Structure 1
Amino acid sequence: MDRVNAASGLDMDELLRLFETSVFNTDGGTLYFPVRHHSPACSYHLLKLIDLYKPDMILIEGPESGNPLLGVLADEATVPPVSLYYTYENEDGRDACYYPMLRYSPEYVAIREAAKRGIPARFIDLDYHHLAGTQTSERREVSGQDETLLAGSEFIQRLCQKANCRSFDELWEKVFEIGGLAKTTREFVLDVFTYCTCSRMCYTPSQLLASGDLAREARMREHIAEAAGAYERVLVITGGFHTYGLLIETATAPGGGASHQDTLPQTAPVSHQIYPMVYTYAEADRLNGYASGMPFVSYYEWIWEHLQRKKNRPYERVAVDLLAKLTRKLRSRDEHVSTSDAIEAYRMIQDLAALRGKTEGGVYELMDAALSAFIKGELTLATEQPMKELQQLLTGDAIGTVAPNPFSVPIVEDFKAWCKELKLQIGTTGQHKKVLDLYAKTEHRRLSQLFQCVTYLVPHFAERQSGPDWVARRDMNLVRETWVYAYSSRVEARLIESSLYGGTLREAAARKMEEEMQGIPDHHSGELAQRMLRALLMGLQDTAERLYSQVRAALRKDGHFLSLCDSLHTLNRIRQHRHLLGIANDDGLRLLVVEAYRNAVDKLPQLAHTNQDEHAAIIQGLKLLSMLADSAEQPFEDETFRSYLNDLLMDQGLPPQLEGVCVAISSGLGDRPKQEIAQRARSYIRGTPEQMLQTALYLQGVFAISRDAFLYEDELLQELNYLVAQLPTEDFIGMVPELRLAFTFFTPMEVALIAERVAGLFQVRVDDLSLPAMDERVLVQAKAWDEAIRKEFEAWKLI
């Protein structure tokens, strides 16, 4: 403390004089009330001060562009937690921040009390875009009420050590939240002012300039001076870190104090907006990411309720209620807790409070007591459930409500109307689950479309846990989708940002997709077809129909076989499920499928000289083409595909994998005898050493299309047996990975059938094939014994 005072040139007597004359002078024209954001004790004394001081005007730390929204915040229909969401955009990019308010936030209490008394109120702080240039980290969710400097000062850290407190939050609760209830309002304000000023003295003017605090304080001083000229009694409510700065101007330019313009970084022209929006306890909790105000928001709301009802010893009352709730919750989850555990925890809270010099046990005593009484043995993942449940109770899961107002964003209202109609739960935080039967229920298809649409705009609203993945082409055999979703203020914030695209969810999604389409090269037909599919999944049938001409034009320009096959796969999938996807007219879609098929077939001659990395994708493309060519539907059944396959099989440079695919397809279409599959395998197996090593690749291609060639034909099995017998050990070991890959095409039942045939080939039982391999040392020893016995028999002429 002495070192801080020496560095700042300010002693405690001077600080007390400043407090008496300029901060808490109830006879003067302006009274300053320093607070910590989201502090029940600050709000408790603020109400007392307003009743004592009876101000004509209340000035509040908050974004000055938010003044038109004060009426919305003061409305009885607005139920915290709520927030002001400020977003701006300039040539350097886009950024945003939140100004959260809880029922016990001093700022919110002041707004409501001013409205109740008919007193004008005003926000006086700079808008966030003036300060964004001072942020050095990458874009993240930020609060406009950042208290990092206050909590992280050297003064606070040393004070925590001296007071044996583990954190600034624990220190604050001990001194102000619990200790402050027994003090007069004057004593409480003096303590807050002293602590915050001492923290501020740990920073140099250059640090405060870089953080933007000097610019903010200069702007707030301008507002205060303006109000002081118009009103006799002005109450100024700001974070305690700023109170000293509002009283003492820091010289930042020649000639004395600087205006807020002098201390602002140069910024590009900006367009900005601010909206009232719902907020959640989880997001307001400082432990969940915001260095702003008190943690454990639900816990302190209970404290605030007891304070408003003028209950004695509110912390003890809340501890009893919470321990009872925690015990019931743990029992409902089959945790072994007893009433005696809860009684012991309550007793320990009182003992810890006495040991730590507190009149009542706060949240930290509650957590320590629960850890000791409810955790049996060591705290591990297996025993942590009581602490997890307690943390959820302390944080809460409530979501606020904003009164109807002209500032509402249409897309947010559209989203809430959809949720209400489809019975989605957005009134509380936490995950909710929906299982959708897509093929049986129309309402479930609409829900799926809503999830797809909102997820496209706001990725973290919902997640599909299981069900058909149309885009990735996985699990298409499933008929049900399982979604989990969770509502939060971040969802609403992202929807507000998406309002640039349109006033409804579907308008915004359609506009966003159209913009994305402009960045796709006009010959990438596969990507365009994927966008069409996604539009249909979101219920944007009109958008999908408008894409027909773009996809057709891309198909005609696309010269890549894999891209065309990708388009064909997507378009054919859409056509197969056209009724589910809401397509009434099939004619245009059918023409797209036919054109994609023909264009892909025309690119078959390119496959003779392709990169091996592409072979797996080429195989899938050939499988799709063969399926369509083998269908009875016109015009897929033509001779072009068969002719090109024949040409490829005559090419000596055709890679082994593709040769296996082509001969399997051709034999399946009846153009070549099935024996040719085994004959071509024999040419690899009995060819040169290099050809022999290519056998596994050839088999991969065959098995991808025609597993029957191995399951029911002996010739290929015998050839493979010959290969294994002839290969040198090192070559065989080198081929094993590719052979394993080839046999992954077979199902477990087919593998069992193969095992029976192999057992028959060697005239052994099938079970013998499952026996563990014999240790090599045992084999060597047995061979030595066998040789010794043979020599002994020869000596005795027994053989």
Structure 2
Amino acid sequence: MGSVLQREEMDTIAELFASRVFDFTQQVVYFPIRHHSPACSYHLLQTIAAYQPQIILIEGPDNSNHIIDVLAHEDTKPPVSIYYAYSAEQHNYSCYFPLLDYSPEYVAMKEARRLGIPARFIDLGYGSRLESLEHGHDIKRENEKVSYQDEKLLTSSAFIKRICESMHCRNFDELWERVFEIGGIRKPTDAFVREVFAYCYLSRQCYAEETLAEEGHLIREAHMKTCIAAAREKYGKILVVTGGFHTYGLIEERSHSYQVKQIKDEKVYPMVYTFREADQLSGYASGMPYVNYYDTVWKAIQKKEQQPFHRSAVSFLAQLLKNLRAKGETVSVADAIEGFNLVKGLAVLREKSEGGAYELLDGVTTAFTKGERSIATERPIETLAELMMGDVIGEIAKNDLDVPIVRDFKEICKKQKLQLKTTGKSQKVLELYAKESHRQASQFFHCLQFMEVEFCQKESGPDWKNYRNVNLVRESWNYSYSSYVEARLIENSLYGGTIKEAAINRLEEVVKQLPLHKSQEAARWLLQAILMGLEETGAKLFALVEDSVKHDGSFTSLCQTLKTLSILNDQRRLFALRETERLAQLIDETYYNAVTKIYELTQPNPDELAEIAEHLKYLHMLAGKGDESRADEIFADQLRDLLAHDQLPAQLEGVVTAILCDRGELAQEEIARRARGYIFGTPDRMLATAQYLQGVFTVARDIFLYDERLVADLNQLIESLSHEAFLQVVPELRLAFTYFTPMEISMIAEKVATLFQTTVEEMVRPAIDGQTLRQARELDQAIQKEFAKWSLT
């Protein structure tokens, strides 16, 4: 690396390094790192052993020092993270401090615990860091930083771009692996640390002081200096482990002072993390990519393997072969052998002692896809990338700092036998009617969905809220555990210490905002409460629905409320409802209020016609089921008055006519008579025929199956339409016939075939294409000309 850098700068760097950074005779020794670097961790262990510090100071928010013992505990298994969250100005802010087995910060904590010396974080807390910056919230909103370990300036400097070009590396990560990971573990520790410091120093020199201040680096370094100065008063040998970008800032003489705003109510918790979230390619965009790959390299380094990268390549090629075969891919051992030979060959070509992650990717691309990247050959590369990322999830040692709601969540998952050991998707099929434990699991899943925990997703089963698939008796849920789940649970801890308590308090917040005159909303949340098993809130919501029904003046809203209440009544055994008589009375009252509002439908919103038709059909289905015979009479009277209105939309006329005929209020012939009034009416009425039929078919589609004349009349209408009018009517006609089942469509097809004196098979035969028709027409004309010459007819 030294040959690439300017000699005068390297002299300055060498002097700084020897006298102020890595001098073991000094009270303070600085160890610059890149986050999640196995090579840095390897040399950090060598440094600790050689220097024997009395305390290790680590770059990390100092308001989480109380968590270090938990993280360094032998029962804690990385990947893990520290979670930070606080609220300000009606905005919620959160970030993560991920730690892997090979993260230098984590290695420092573990080694300090093993040696019996203290380890301390010395950086600003997340909330204090944002609040202390000028326009801090604006920066946060525009460029949200998910991770505290931000390496944006370090990895994107002009210096890095130049050195990548000089060393023919595709990106910074390939450069880092080549110089520091593969090359670094074979170098003496002082040489390795000097090169890391040089690289970070030169990257930092590419930025003006204003940029460093705006990004928050200067205020953080000032705070870290204060912590280091405090440690000087108590300890004789101090090792400071920070991101290399900050090392020069910590040794530089700077007289600036900063006003730090302390945030007292910031939440700080230890939590599990996953490889997927820690990976730069899919997670928080900081640190190194391919975390599972480098974890394998780190394990090989700890075992003192002579070639840890080649050892890892063999392991991943073997696993790749196994996974591809499991997916049905045709691959052979010869492909894997060729891939490994390419890894070694590319390493020699690129002047590396071993082939790393990028040689492995290139080797597999050539050996398994034969160099042809396409959708058909992409699976080996995708599978390898998944393997190199990994799906491991960490564990946190038992402690008094864990969040009660997280503990409750895990206890419920254990009781329900839900898999939390991996990040892959799992499935849970629930027998809602057969098993009480399954009903409890369903309530648990519904609570988590309501709280937006991002743990589970229902794939199939009854959709009570939208009145779909209500005849199904099973629910199928997919679920997947990750640190995001814990983060969302921690956010919900504001509402309670258990899942049920938090869901109740969140739902009660929603209920407070509900308008009194919209019973539909209250009923929907009542159903939600019951699905979640929240009986206490359900009782309050039931009273709210009763009140809302009295004040609701909307026909549509009342009908939606009636549907929701009817679902609760029909499923009262499943939902274990107690006040069934009170529910039945409320259904009767809602039905009565709904039918008395039919008068408002004389001038409905055109976009709501289909919905209104379904509501009228539903009221017709419920008629006579309750105790309110007076309401049924009002329903019939309201429909007759509505039908008498001369400006009633065609679709509503169709559904009202069909309902009255079904009730015996009108003769069955009235449906066909009114249909012919549209078919043979004015041009405007002709075009409205399809809407009328949609209304009829909503309730009485069988009219089209037994009335032979109606089929012939509709055909006459179609034949009489102009091309433009036909194009206008066809979409509505198609929509009308969607009400019929496939068997009924076949019956209609037979009637149409009879009308045209043909067969159904002939009708469904594919149409002749235009070119064939033109050729046939030209042939026909030629034959006619030939016949004319010979006076043939």
TM-score, with structure 2 as normaliser: 0.94
Q: Which of 297, 308, 326 pairs up with 2:320?
A: 326
Q: What is aligned with 1:646?
A: 640
Residue 479 (structure 2) pairs with residue 485 (structure 1): yes
Candidates 170, 180, 187, aligned match of 1:176:
180
Alignment partner for residue 95 of structure 1, among 55, 78, 93? 93
Instruction: Specify whether residues 532 and 786 from structure 1 end up closer, same or farther in structure 2 by C-alpha distance, changes over 3 A only.
Output: farther
Of stretches 723-732 and 609-618 in structure 1, the one that deviates more from structure 2 is 723-732
Q: 1:521 maps to what in 2?
A: 515
Q: Is residue 430–residue 442 contact of structure 2 (8 Å, CA) maintained in 1?
A: yes
Please name the residue that 1:47 is paired with.
Answer: 45
Cα 1:764/1:361, change in 2 over 3 Å: closer
Aligned pair in 2 of structure 1 residues 638, 181: CA closer, same or farther (>3 Å)? Answer: same
Structure 1 residues 472 and 632: alpha-carbon distance in aligned structure 2, compared to 1, 3 A threshold: closer
The RMSD of aligned alpha carbons is 2.6
Equivalent-residue separation in structure 2 for 1:583 and 1:125 (angstroms): 55
Mapped contact 2:423–2:481 kept (Cα < 8 A): yes
How far apart are residue 163 of structure 1 and its match?
A: 0.8
TM-fit CA distance, 1:791: 11
**Cα distance in 1 between the residues matched to 2:380 and 2:784:** 70
Q: 1:227 aligns with which of 214, 225, 231?
A: 231
State the secondary structure of the residue aligned to 1:288. coil
Q: CA deviation at 1:248?
A: 0.8
Relative distance call for 1:625 and 1:787 in structure 2 (3 A) is farther
Residue aligning to 2:349? 355
Q: 1:723 Cα deviation (Å)? A: 2.3
CA contact (8 A) 2:58 2:242 kept: yes
Candidates 78, 82, 86, aligned match of 1:84: 82
- CA deviations over 1:51-91 (Å, ceiling 9, x no partner): 11111111100001001111111211111111000111122
Q: Which residue identity does 1:108 align to in structure 2? A: Y
Q: Which moved more, 1:374-383 or 1:271-280?
A: 374-383
Residues 778 and 363 of structure 1: CA distance in aligned 2, closer, same or farther (over 3 Å)? closer
- State the Cα distance separating 1:467 from its structure 2 match: 2.1
Indicate which of 420, 423, 430 corresponds to 2:417.
Answer: 423
Does the aligned pair in 2 maintain the 1:148–1:291 contact within 8 Å?
A: no
For residues 17-45 of structure 1, the C-alpha deviation after alignment (integer angstroms, 9 at most, x for no partner) is 11111101101111100011111111111
Secondary structure at the residue paired with 2:525? helix
1:468-479 equivalences under 5 Å are 468-479=462-473
Q: For 1:737-776, list aligned pairs within 5 A.
A: 737-773=731-767
Letter matched to residue 14 of structure 1: T
Contact kept? 2:279, 2:285, Cα under 8 Å = no
Distance 1:636 1:530, change over 3 A: farther
**CA distance in 2: counterparts of 1:477 and 1:174, whole angstroms:** 61
- Asked if 1:273 corresponds to 2:267, the answer is yes
Cα distance between partner residues in 1 of 2:409 and 2:229:
44
Preserved CA contact (<8 Å) 2:559 2:594: yes
Q: 1:92 to 1:214 in 2, by over 3 A?
A: farther
Query: Does the 8 Å CA contact 2:654/2:671 hold for their aligned counterparts?
Result: yes
- Is 2:334 the partner of 1:340? yes
Of 721-730 and 102-111, more deviation after overlay is shown by 721-730
Q: Is 2:24 aligned against 1:18?
A: no
Displacement of 1:211 in angstroms is 0.2
Output aligned runs, 1:143-182, within 5 Å.
143-182=147-186
Does the alignment pair 1:73 with 2:67? no
Residue ranges of structure 1 left out of the alignment (5+ in a row): 251-256
CA distance in 2, matches of 1:736, 1:680: 20
Q: Given the alignment of the two structures, is residue 664 of structure 1 paired with residue 658 of structure 2, yes or no?
A: yes
Contact 1:81 1:102 in 2 (8 A): yes
Alpha carbons of structure 1 residues 789 and 330: separation in structure 2 relative to 1, 3 Å: closer
Other-structure match for 1:187? 191
**CA shift digits 1:262-291 (9 cap, x unpaired):** xx6xx7966211000000011111111323
Q: Is 1:608 matched with 2:612?
A: no
Q: Determine helix, strand or coil for the equivalent of 2:463.
A: coil
Q: Return the alpha-carbon distance in structure 2 between the equivalents of residues 153 and 362 of structure 1.
A: 24
**Which moved further from structure 2: 206-215 or 178-187?**
178-187
**Counterparts in 2 of 1:650 and 1:228: CA distance versus 1, 3 Å:** same
**Is 1:407 aligned to residue 405 of structure 2?**
no
Aligned pairs for 1:711-750 (under 5 A) are 711-750=705-744
Q: 1:48 to 1:550 in 2, by over 3 A?
A: same
3-state DSSP of counterpart to 2:183: helix
1:258 alignment counterpart: 256
Q: Could you say which residue in structure 2 is the equivalent of 1:201?
A: 205
**Maintained 8 Å contact 2:83/2:97:** yes
Structure 2: which amino acid aligns with 1:248? E
**1:122 alignment counterpart:** 120
- CA drift at 1:136: 5.0
With over 3 angstroms needed to count, the CA separation of the structure-2 counterparts of 1:743 and 1:791, relative to structure 1, is farther
Deviation at 1:727, TM superposition (A): 3.3
Cα distance change on mapping 1:701 and 1:166 into 2, 3 Å:
same
For residue 331 of structure 1, report the CA deviation from its aligned partner: 2.2
Moved more, 316-325 or 394-403: 316-325
CA distance in 2, matches of 1:249, 1:525: 68
Residue-by-residue CA offset, 1:295-351 (whole Å, 9 max, x unaligned): 111111122122222222211222222222222222222322212211111111111
Letter in 1 for 2:42: Y
Aligned residues: 784
Deviates more, 1:76-85 or 1:135-144: 135-144
Q: Deviations over 1:631-669 (max 9, x none)?
A: 476558731111111111111121111011001001111
Contact kept in structure 1, 2:465 and 2:524, CA below 8 Å? yes
Checking the alignment, whether the CA contact within 8 Å between 2:495 and 2:505 is kept in structure 1 is yes
Instruction: Report the AA paired with residue 35 of structure 1.
Output: I
Query: How many percent of aligned residue pairs carry the same amino acid?
Result: 49
Structure 2 Cα separation of the partners of residues 188 and 360 of structure 1: 17
After TM superposition, list the pairs within 5 Å mapping 1:355-504 onto structure 2.
355-376=349-370, 378-504=372-498
Work out whether residues 588 and 627 of structure 2, in 8 Å CA contact, stay in contact via their aligned partners in 1: no
Match of 2:532 in 1: 538
* Aligned-pair CA distance for 1:679: 1.2
| CA distance in structure 1 between the aligned counterparts of 2:336 and 2:145, rounded to whole angstroms | 38
Q: Distance in 2 between matches of 1:177 and 1:377?
A: 27
Q: Deviations over 1:473-492 (max 9, x none)?
A: 33333332222111100110
SS in 2 for 1:744: helix
Partner of 1:59: 57
Q: Which amino acid aligns with 1:128?
A: Y
Separation in 1, partners of 2:262, 2:297? 45
CA distance in 1, matches of 2:552, 2:262: 43
Following superposition, the deviation at residue 532 of structure 1 comes to 1.1
Moved over 6 A (4+): 267-270, 778-793
Q: Deviations over 1:82-120 (max 9, x none)?
A: 100011112251101000111111111111111111111
Secondary structure at the counterpart of residue 739 of structure 2: coil
Distance in 2, matches of 1:612 and 1:542, equals 40
CA distance in 2, matches of 1:786, 1:333: 62
| Structure 1 CA distance for aligned equivalents of residues 636 and 510 of structure 2 | 38
Partner SS state of residue 767, structure 1 = helix
Partner amino acid, structure 2, of 1:161: E
Q: Residues of 1 paired with 2:711 and 2:288: CA distance?
A: 73
Give me the whole-angstrom Cα distance separating, in 2, the residues matched to 1:758 and 1:789. Answer: 38
The 2-side partners of 1:510 and 1:431 are apart by 28
Q: Provide the rounded CA distance (Å) in 2 between the counterparts of 1:401 and 1:168.
A: 31
* CA distance in structure 2 between the aligned counterparts of 1:750 and 1:268, rounded to whole angstroms: 73
CA gap of 1:190–1:671, structure 2 versus 1, over 3 A, is same
The C-alpha deviation readout for 1:527-560, integer Å capped at 9, x for no partner, is 1111111111122233212211111111111111
Residue 306 of structure 2 corresponds to residue 302 of structure 1: no
Q: Any conservation in 2 of the 1:461–1:485 contact (CA below 8 Å)?
A: yes
SS at match of 1:295: coil
* Cα distance change of structure 1 residues 179 and 773 upon mapping to structure 2, 3 Å threshold: closer
Q: Is the 8 Å Cα contact of residues 541 and 583 (structure 1) preserved in structure 2?
A: no
Q: In the aligned structure 1, how far is the partner of 2:378 from the partner of 2:44? A: 39
Deviations 1:430-456 (A, max 9, x none): 111222232333332222222211122
